[in-house]
Amino acid sequence: MHNSLPKSDKELKDFLKYLDRYLLDKAIEWARKCYQAILEEMDAAFASSREKGLEIEHRRWVWYQTCLGAVRIRRREYRDKEGGRRCLLDEVLGMAKYWHKTVKVQEVALELASTMSYRRSAEVLRKTSAIDLPHQTIWRMVSKVADPYLQKEEQELKWFLMTGAIPQGEGKRVSRLLVEADGVILSLQREKERRTEVKLGIAYEGWQQVGKDRYRTSNKTIFSTVGAEETFWPGLTLKLQWNYDLAGVKDTIVGGDGAGWIKAGAEYCGGHFQLDRYHLNRDLCLAFGRDKQTKRQVWEACERGDVATGLATIEMARKQTRGEAALKIGRVYRYLWDNRMGLGDYRLGLSSAGCSLRRTGAIEGNIDKLIVRRMKNQGMSWTLRGLKRLLCLRFLVLEEKLTSWLANSPLGQAAVSLHPPGKRVRHILTRLSSQEPDDWLKVRLPALSGPHASRPWVTLLKSLSEAKLNEL
């Protein structure tokens, strides 16, 4: 960044390439001074209107991490009647003790961390904004935000398992819910086991068209657990209960790849298991390869609900082949036999079959988008605690709950007894935020009238200097 005027045409060209960044840095520099002045005057206003029993202990300098970068503020610290220490300015800004980061900084950093590595998130913030946080700080930020949320979920689930009491939710009534589940294996570090399975479930009401031959699930609910099978279905049921009146759901379709814990979920939900068509098609292609005729016969038999004919067709094809091909067909036959209760198209048993209902299989794309892209590739490995935290954060972001959780979590709650002087604070904000920028925007440039005033780069600089501030 140039701190002096360019002295040649080449330097001028290089300067103009980064002119936007230069002006942005100057604007941010002014904004930091304005932010500092506003907060220090607000702190004085809080001191004059504080509640009885709060004694000013001292004034200390502290660095606030803001969207404008690090801003050094001198604010008052108090001691209450019980001997505890408080800082009114921190409480108003929603900052916990020793955690001087604004809510917006946390929101931006956490949203980035939910989609890319902590180190990469820190680099992107540093290059695209004034926020400069070490990647270790972002990692700690994830733990501070996710741990209280996970603790709350664990307490609710424990109470549900102990009492069976279903909490009162929104009570939305629907006649049908489609539930799909699948798992993905992730690598672990610093744990007894080298790998663990993350189980993901989605529930939705149906589909809505978003383009030609393109559909998306409507009103999707997502839920995930790490490792444990016994808490997955109760946890998903508890989450669904916050939105739906589950007692009024007539048809529940549970789709998946045929794993035992998924079929057990169909029994738990009192629903019908459906082997999703992605796995059915995959195994038929594995068994018959280019034999499209036999594959089509089995597929059509399953579609019309004639499972026995489909299985008989596979068995007949196995008897007519030898060697490795027969072994492949045999493995597929055993797989489909184990999942025969889910081979028939689920739509055949519904009163509103056809029309608006589509095949299951949305879980495959969700596994990739929600888990694999962030947590599996690039040689990543996790601790169990770190994995749970990141899953929690991703779901908070995807469900658009992060902002409200930051505002209502223990990190962002102000003291109940604090009542800021509203009129005085509004006057401070109006007066200081409407001030003109510092003198750096008003200084005179000697080069414009000096011995080099006729040179091309001075002429261009003169035209820039004459532009209005709001046009730059």
pLDDT at residue 468, as a whole number: 44
Residue 273: burial class (beta carbons within 10 Å; 0-12, 13-18, 19+): buried
Alpha carbons within 13 angstroms on the beta-carbon side of residue 96 total 12
Residue matched to tokens 């532009």: 467
The pair of structure tokens assigned to 445 is 């440039």
Query: How confident is the prediction along the chain (472 residues), in pLDDT tens digits per residue?
Result: 445 666 777 778 888 888 888 889 889 999 999 899 989 988 988 888 888 888 999 999 999 999 999 999 999 999 988 888 889 898 888 888 888 999 999 999 999 999 999 999 999 999 999 999 999 999 999 999 999 999 999 999 999 888 887 777 788 899 899 999 999 999 999 999 999 999 999 999 989 888 888 888 999 999 999 977 889 999 999 999 988 988 888 899 999 999 999 999 999 988 999 999 889 999 999 999 888 999 999 999 999 999 999 999 999 999 998 889 999 999 999 999 999 999 998 988 776 544 467 888 899 999 999 999 999 877 889 999 999 999 999 999 999 999 989 887 655 554 445 666 767 777 777 776 666 655 544 555 555 566 666 666 666 556 655 544 444 4
CA distance 359 to 176: 14
Closest CA to 92 of 108, 76, 80: 76
pLDDT at residue 17, as a whole number: 84
Listing DSSP states for 120-173 in one string gives: HHHHHHHHHSS----HHHHHHHHHHHHHHHHHHHHHHHHHHHHH-PPPP---B-
Residue 5 falls inside a structural domain: no
pLDDT at residue 415, as a whole number: 46
Residue 348 falls inside a structural domain: yes
Residue 130: burial class (beta carbons within 10 Å; 0-12, 13-18, 19+): buried
Its pTM stands at 0.82
pLDDT at residue 469, as a whole number: 41
Residue 96 falls inside a structural domain: no
Q: Are strands 251-256 and 55-66 parallel, antiparallel or unpaired?
A: unpaired
Residue 70 falls inside a structural domain: no
| Spatial contact of 23 and 30, defined as CB atoms under 8 Å apart | no
pLDDT at residue 211, as a whole number: 85
Q: Find the domain containing 229 and state its range.
A: 170-382
pLDDT at residue 351, as a whole number: 60
Q: Are strands 251-256 and 176-187 parallel, antiparallel or unpaired?
A: parallel
- What is the count of structural domains for the chain? 1
For 306-319, give one letter per residue: b (16+ CB within 10 A) or e: ebeebbebbeebbe
How many angstroms separate the first and last alpha carbons of the chain? 18
Helices (H) and strands (E) in the chain, counts: 18, 10
Residue 228 falls inside a structural domain: yes
Q: Which residues pair with 75 in a beta bridge?
A: 60
Residue type, 127: K
| Spatial contact of 17 and 56, defined as CB atoms under 8 Å apart | no
The pair of structure tokens assigned to 97 is 């003790």
Distances (CA, A) of 19 to 8, 218, 445: 16, 46, 17
The three-point CA angle 230-231-237 to 5° equals 120
Residue 400 falls inside a structural domain: no
Distances (CA, A) of 285 to 277, 323, 361: 12, 17, 17
Residue 300 falls inside a structural domain: yes
| Spatial contact of 177 and 189, defined as CB atoms under 8 Å apart | no
| Spatial contact of 395 and 224, defined as CB atoms under 8 Å apart | yes
Residue 285 falls inside a structural domain: yes
The three-point CA angle 201-204-207 to 5° equals 130
